């Protein structure tokens, strides 16, 4: 990594002293291993590695500073890319796409620049709990080929306040 890349990372406020990018909780809840998600695409890390969160609360926030790539038409999932090139995918629950947007409200738009902690989506947890196979919310690194290391955390977390993993590109 070059000198300018290190300076950009330090100035972004999302790095530690060894150059890792901290990814914050997009939703409050309890961290669960990605392998426990009842969807083979996530459990077998087909779309990338990461972790899942058993959610509580009512909002999904930006886990990093970056640009919103895609927000699904059904408002249950989105992608975001950091200025350093980290690509994340956040997908609320399993079976949520079939709800056609019911239980979700979009708070941000595709192409929008956001800061870590800014609200992206709102959800109705009470409604969703009775409608879907699982509420487990995967947070996945979409560009694993660019990742040198991934340090995952465990335990209870609060959206926009707690680091869920640190990534070195």
For the chain, list residues with pLDDT below 70: 1-19
* Number of domains into which the chain is organized: 1
Q: What is the CATH number of the domain that holds 91?
A: 2.70.70.10
Place of tokens 């969807």: 39
pLDDT tens digit sequence for 109-124: 999 999 999 999 999 9
User: What torsion, rounded to 10 degrees, do the Cα atoms 27, 66, 14, 75 define?
Assistant: 10
Determine, yes or no, domain membership for 142: yes
Specify the pLDDT at position 28: 98
Q: What is the pLDDT of residue 124?
A: 98
pLDDT given for residue 159 in this prediction: 98
Residues labelled as active-site residues? 91
Q: Is residue 1 included in any domain, yes or no? A: no
Task: Evaluate whether residue 11 is within a structural domain.
Answer: no
Q: What is the reported pLDDT for 1?
A: 40
Q: Report yes or no on 71 lying in a domain.
A: yes
pTM, full prediction? 0.88
161 domain-assigned: yes
pLDDT, position 22: 97
Flag whether 10 is in a domain.
no
Going by the DSSP 8-state scheme, the letter that residue 15 receives in this structure is B
Look up the domain containing 84 and give its range. 19-168
Q: How far apart are CA 167 and CA 150, in angstroms?
A: 5
- Residue 163 is assigned to a structural domain of this protein: yes
Phi then psi dihedrals of residue 132, to 5 deg: -125, 160
Please tell me the predicted confidence (pLDDT) of residue 106: 98
What is residue 9's predicted lDDT score, i.e. its pLDDT? 47
| In a domain? residue 5 | no
Residue with tokens 């609060």: 158
d(CA 60, CA 40): 23
**Phi and psi at residue 126, to the nearest 5°:** -60, -45
pLDDT of residue 12: 53
């Amino acid at each position: 990594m070059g000198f300018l890349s290190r300076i950009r990372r330090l100035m972004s406020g999302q790095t530690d002293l060894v150059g890792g990018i901290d990814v914050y909780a997009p939703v409050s809840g309890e961290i669960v291993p990605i392998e426990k998600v009842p969807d083979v695409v996530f459990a077998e890390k087909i779309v990338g590695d990461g972790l899942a969160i058993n959610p509580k609360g009512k909002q999904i926030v930006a886990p990093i500073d970056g640009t919103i790539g895609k927000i699904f038409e059904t408002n249950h999932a989105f992608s975001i890319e950091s200025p350093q090139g980290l690509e994340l995918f956040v997908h609320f629950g399993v079976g949520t796409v079939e709800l056609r947007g019911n239980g979700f409200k979009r708070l941000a738009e595709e192409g929008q620049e956001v800061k870590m902690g800014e609200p992206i989506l709102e959800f109705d947890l009470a409604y969703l709990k009775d409608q879907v196979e699982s509420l487990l919310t995967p947070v996945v690194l979409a560009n694993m080929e660019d990742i040198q290391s991934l340090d995952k955390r465990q335990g209870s977390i609060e959206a926009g306040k707690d680091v869920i993993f640190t990534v070195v590109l």
